């Protein structure tokens, strides 16, 4: 008897399509953008080929492309003209992010606009909050920081953001932001919480892109230890209790186990952030001719979906959408299985 022969179902492309368990759709993608203060700026990011810091007046082509590809959402980061110890440009209504939100809203009203809420791009020291007085300690004060994160969130909601995404890893940030949004009348603005964000080496290229490298110390006193899985669940539990509408695990590739467990235990929409280093690794290897970029990128994305993420924030968003969409012509669903088109 020829039983236990899984290869029978791998024999033809049509059979493989039929038994494929996971699909990647354009609907799952979120495109990050770096908006810089000033005008006439298109400043390529060396370690993130294909990405650039853009001033608000240079956003249109990028937004049009994203909208034409039917990517449903963008995630905005700001690089301000002025930094100070408390990151006050972060809540300036004329800062790069509020300006970008208003511009995108006008240009592509159908796009979901997510604003990252953190102050590391806005503080002179590059930490994600207000520092204690001890010089050089890098000790971020939790509760005073909540107040400034809430101000940033309200400024982005005032400008028209659909979703705010707190990434500072301060305790209580979701509750503080929810209260501030509600008090300002923004009861319809949702919170996507970076619930389990790890102190990761894979953020390296982002820090160049966002000019947010800490001037001293590191983020291990607020971001999580990569060794800790149970603690990640505790973080998620707290954020759910504080009123998060969606949760996120970050980075993605090295944390698929966390994504999988969170998916099983919680019922909120789950996002995963394929971070700058994950993107840079594939890009660099592809440039050297060591990896097939498209296959490696799509495989990494399908793995994140298979682990259980509903949405993926990825610097491959436009590429992936392009790889998916042509394969889709004639297909009704707007979805692709990774094998298609190769």
For residue 83, indicate whether it is catalytic: no
Identify which of residues 99 and 167 has a Cβ nearer to ligand PBG in the complex: 167
Q: Does 275 help bind ligand PBG (rule: CB under 6 A)?
A: yes
Q: 81 with 38: CB under 8 angstroms? A: yes
Position among 73, 79, 120, 163 found at the interface with ligand PBG (CB under 6 A): 120
- Secondary structure of residue 79 in the 3-state scheme: strand
Position among 34, 122, 198, 203 found at the interface with ligand PBG (CB under 6 A): 203
Identify which of residues 197 and 294 has a Cβ nearer to ligand PBG in the complex: 197
Question: Could you say which residues in the range 146-185 bind ligand PBG, by CB under 6 A?
Answer: 167-168
Number of residues that bind ligand PBG (CB under 6 A): 13
DSSP string, 134-145: STT---EEHHHH
Classify each residue of 260-280 as buried b or exposed e, where b means 16 or more C-beta atoms within 10 Å of its C-beta.
Answer: ebbbeebebebbbbbbbbbbb
Minimum distance of ligand PBG from residue 174's CB (angstroms): 15
- Give the whole-angstrom CA distance, residue 299 versus residue 308: 14
- Give the whole-angstrom CA distance, residue 122 versus residue 80: 6
Tell me the window of 64-72, 85-93, 201-209, 324-332 that interacts with ligand PBG (CB under 6 A).
201-209
Position among 56, 86, 118, 262 found at the interface with ligand PBG (CB under 6 A): 118
| 3-class secondary structure per residue, 237-263 | HHHHHHCCCEEEEECCHHHHHHHHHHH
Identify which of residues 164 and 275 has a Cβ nearer to ligand PBG in the complex: 275
The bridge status of strand 130-131 relative to strand 140-141 is: antiparallel
Query: Which residues bind to ligand PBG, rule: CB under 6 A?
Result: 116, 118, 120, 128, 167-168, 203, 206-207, 212, 219, 275-276
Please list the active-site residues: 197, 250
């Amino acid at each position: 008897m020829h039983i236990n022969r899984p290869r029978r179902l791998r024999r033809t492309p049509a059979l493989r399509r039929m038994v494929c368990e996971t699909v990647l759709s354009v609907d799952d993608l979120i495109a990050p953008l770096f908006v810089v203060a000033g005008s006439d700026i298109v400043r390529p990011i060396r370690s993130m080929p294909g990405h650039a810091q853009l001033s608000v007046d240079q956003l249109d082509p990028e937004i049009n492309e994203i909208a034409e590809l039917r990517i449903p959402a963008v995630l905005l980061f700001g690089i301000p003209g002025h930094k100070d110890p408390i990151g006050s440009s972060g809540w300036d209504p004329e800062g790069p992010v509020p300006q970008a939100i208003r511009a995108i809203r006008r240009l592509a009203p159908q796009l979901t606009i997510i604003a990252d809420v953190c102050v590391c791009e806005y503080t002179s020291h590059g930490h994600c909050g207000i520092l204690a007085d001890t010089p050089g300690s890098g000790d971020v004060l939790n509760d005073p920081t909540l107040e400034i994160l809430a101000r940033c969130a309200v400024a982005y909601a005032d400008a028209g953001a659909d979703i705010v995404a707190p990434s500072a890893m301060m305790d209580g940030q979701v509750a503080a932001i929810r209260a501030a949004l509600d008090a300002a009348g923004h009861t319809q603005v949702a919170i996507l919480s970076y619930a389990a964000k790890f102190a990761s080496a894979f953020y390296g290229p982002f820090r160049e892109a966002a000019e947010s490298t800490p001037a001293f110390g590191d983020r291990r006193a607020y971001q999580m230890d990569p060794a800790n899985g149970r603690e990640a669940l505790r973080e998620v539990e707290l954020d759910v209790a504080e009123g998060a509408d969606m949760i996120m695990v970050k980075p993605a590739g090295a944390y698929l186990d966390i994504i999988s467990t969170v998916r099983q235990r919680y019922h909120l929409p789950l996002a995963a952030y394929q971070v700058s280093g994950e993107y840079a690794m594939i890009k660099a290897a592809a440039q050297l001719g060591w990896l097939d970029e498209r296959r490696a990128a799509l495989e990494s994305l399908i793995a994140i979906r298979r682990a259980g993420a509903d949405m993926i924030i990825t610097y491959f968003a436009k590429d992936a959408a392009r790889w998916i969409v042509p394969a889709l012509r004639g297909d009704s669903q707007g979805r692709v299985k990774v094998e298609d088109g190769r």
